[in-house]
Amino acid sequence: MPQSELNLSDSPTFTTARLVELWCAEPVFFASRELSDTYYTEGAIGNYALAYALGWARAPYRLTGKDTGRPRYREDLTPLAGQHYILPAWPVENSPSYRFERFNALSDAYWYAMTNNRVATAREDLPLKRTGKKPNTYRPSNFPQTGRLRIIDRGNRFQTLVFGEGELPEYIRVGKFTSKVRVDVGEALPVRQLPADTYRCNTYLNSADLPPDLEPFAFDLIAIPPASLLKNLQFHGEAWQIGNFLIPANLEFLGGNSRE
Amino acid sequence: MSIEKLQSFLAPNYENFPKGRTIGVVVLRTTQSETIFRTEGTGEPMCRESVQAGVQNTESILRLVMTKRKQVAPERRRGREFLRNHELLYTAPKSDSPCSLNTNAPCEMCVDCFLYGFAAGGEGAQKSRIWTEDAFSVLPSTELIGDRTINAVFETGTMRDEKGNASTALKTSEYIKPGVHFLDIATLKDVTADELRYALGNLLLTTRYGAVSSRVGRMENQILGVFGGISELPSSLELVQGVYDRLIAENVALEHPLNTNALIEATQSVINTWTNKRGISMQLSSEELDALIEDIDRHWSLDEQETFLKRLDESYQPYRQIKQQSTKKGRKNK
Ligand SMILES: [Zn+2]
């Protein structure tokens, strides 16, 4: 990559930020972590999910071949450097409320059988299976067919800071079940640049988005894919002050780094 | 023709990248028989949730919930019945079996796979372009639930336990009464005119929801409003809350059975204010909405159904060929 292009993102970026409140019109589910057959949603909404939901980047409807298992965050999000940035959203109350739900996948066939973590629909495979053979439709599935989900409950509220210009949609969809979330946008607050010093951050941060020269001392880790979130980060470095919020300066998606 | 009115919010043909074209549909779902929507797992037997009654009336009430997953599965199944009938479901590449829901073997090529999506299949994944939403009853659930005492059934599914002893226990079973109204919002993203006809046809033609049984779960769906824009309509919860406020303001008796016409009027007056909202550009007038539904009915009529479905199926052909070629190439290079 030519040097000149890299320098563009080093120039001071955002002068204002908006405090945005997210209201969950529906229960929200992300597969943050898995314990046995239960899938837990953490009490946060990741900023990559939010960037896609706000329409800043567009993931294709159909994924084929290698793209199926490979995220496109770097291609999709690093071009936003200097134009748009959003922090991971944190709960307005100390801890969000959750609900548990059971899920199971059913077939549209009149006959089906629950097999090795899979729904089989070919009745003719049944005698074959009884003889000890393993017909294709009875082989284990590589994705779960039943289990339990811990979901962020309806009505929870989250907050985040949005950097950059442009109108935001009134409603977005997030999570595995494309849950509807209302976006209430506050007025723009000035971003004050603070000199390098020791600070304590009072928002959530994405660990992959921190500038390279930042020195972190202590933090709480929320281990979620694709990149872990940090809260209560104490750090040495330049900072941005937005209203009552204090965060490391020069945050960009993936640190603004578009290289592999 | 009203479908032309929606043209700027419809895709000319299937495209792989989102372009923000959004059709929002306001649906009234009314139970026509006893219906059962059970919560999955623990908790109360019937799906209900404590939510704020209105926007202005802030007290909490328990409302029945028809979850989004309970809506989309029967509607997809309905469409797939027709696809199967016209031999438009393909063989799944992974298992050599015909395309089937939730069996880890989607065909990745049929109308249903393209429109409603599939996860981890043979080679790829497709995101759904039909987004549903939890729907809520207008009235509090206490008005809407009936009880019936039945003989308890053992875990074996019979009236006898493993030792052959007959059941003596009685238990009460709850059901949702006929004539219960649910308000709902459906969102269609980047769909073509024929995909719109297909998805709304599924919605209008589906008459059974909830727990499977021959005598329960009949439901009628009515489309009360169709919007075009670049962003989504408010949530069904906000809709039902707005309607609740309006019914109170109009002194409509909030008891079951609720007057359907009063409910439709209240809903119309709430949704008519929505075009002022961010990103919602237009709403079909009631004449245009009637014409759209007539158009859908005509395409699904016995005479035109086959032509319509085959045309829709063929519209994905270029995309299927690209996929086949690219996989062939991939194999050659190896
Ligand atoms: Zn298919």
Nearest by CB to A63, which of B125, B131, B133?
B125
Residues B3 and B52: their CA atoms lie apart, in Å, by 36
From the number of C-beta atoms within 10 Å of its C-beta (0-12, 13-18, 19+), residue B173 rates as middle
Confidence of residue B330 (pLDDT cuts 50, 70, 90): very low
Q: Given CB atoms, is B131 within the 8 Å cutoff of chain A?
A: yes
Confidence of residue A7 (pLDDT cuts 50, 70, 90): very low
Residue A109, pLDDT score: 59
Which of B267 and B211 is assigned the larger pLDDT? B267
Q: Given CB atoms, is A108 within the 8 Å cutoff of chain B?
A: yes
Residue B322, pLDDT score: 52
Confidence of residue B276 (pLDDT cuts 50, 70, 90): confident
Q: What is the pTM of this model?
A: 0.86
* CATH class of the domain whose range is A16-103+146-256: alpha beta
Mean pLDDT, range B30-45, rounded to an integer: 72
CB B32 within 8 A of CB B180: no
B80 vs A contacts (CB less than 8 Å) = 108
Mean pLDDT, range A126-135, rounded to an integer: 69
What is the per-residue pLDDT across B15-27, written as a single tens digit (0 to 9) for each?
Answer: 999 999 999 999 9
Q: Given CB atoms, is A142 within the 8 Å cutoff of chain B?
A: yes
Residue B303, pLDDT score: 96
Residue A11, pLDDT score: 47
Domain with CATH 3.30.70 in chain A: 16-103+146-256
Confidence of residue A136 (pLDDT cuts 50, 70, 90): low
Residue A260, pLDDT score: 46
Residue A190, pLDDT score: 95
Q: Does residue A6 register a pLDDT over 50?
A: no
Residue B160, pLDDT score: 64
Residue B286, pLDDT score: 95
Residue A145, pLDDT score: 64
**CA of A231 vs chain B CAs: smallest distance (Å):** 31
Lowest mean pLDDT among B122-126, B196-200, B252-256: B122-126
Per-chain mean pLDDT for chain A: 85
User: What share of chain A in percent tops pLDDT 70?
Assistant: 78
Per-chain mean pLDDT for chain B: 87
One-character DSSP codes across chain A: --HHHHHHTTS---SEEEEEEEEESS-B----EEETTEEEPPSSB-HHHHHHHTTSS---SEE-GGGGGS--HHHHHGGGTTT-EEPPBEESSSS--EEEEEEE---SSSS-EEETTEEE--TTHHHHHHTT---GGGSPPSS-SEEEEEEEPTT-EEEEEEES-S---SEEEETTTTEEEEEEEEEEEE-EEEEEEEEE--S-EEGGGS-TT-EEEEEEEE--SSS-EEEEEEEEEEEEEETTEEEESS--GGGG----
Residue A105, pLDDT score: 62
What is the per-residue pLDDT across A152-161, written as a single tens digit (0 to 9) for each?
Answer: 999 999 999 9
A62 vs B contacts (CB less than 8 Å) = 16, 124-127, 319
Give the residue extent of every domain in chain B: 2-74+127-139+178-318
Q: Does residue A255 register a pLDDT over 80?
A: yes
Mean pLDDT, range B129-142, rounded to an integer: 96
Q: Does residue A259 register a pLDDT over 70?
A: no
Confidence of residue A107 (pLDDT cuts 50, 70, 90): low
Q: Given CB atoms, is B60 within the 8 Å cutoff of chain A?
A: no
Q: Given CB atoms, is B10 within the 8 Å cutoff of chain A?
A: no
Partner-chain contact A137 B95, CB within 8 Å:
yes
Q: Given CB atoms, is A139 within the 8 Å cutoff of chain B?
A: no
What is the per-residue pLDDT across A45-103, written as a single tens digit (0 to 9) for each?
Answer: 999 999 999 999 988 888 877 666 677 888 889 888 889 999 999 999 888 999 988 87
User: What share of chain B in percent tops pLDDT 70?
Assistant: 82
- Count CB neighbours of A116 within 10 A: 11
Lowest mean pLDDT among A33-42, A178-187, B131-140, B322-331: B322-331
Confidence of residue B215 (pLDDT cuts 50, 70, 90): confident
Mean pLDDT, range A3-29, rounded to an integer: 76
Q: Which of B47, B104, B109, B110 to mutate to test the interface with A (most CBs of A within 10 A)?
A: B104
Which of B327 and B178 is assigned the larger pLDDT? B178
Mean pLDDT, range A97-118, rounded to an integer: 70
User: What share of chain B in percent tops pLDDT 90?
Assistant: 64
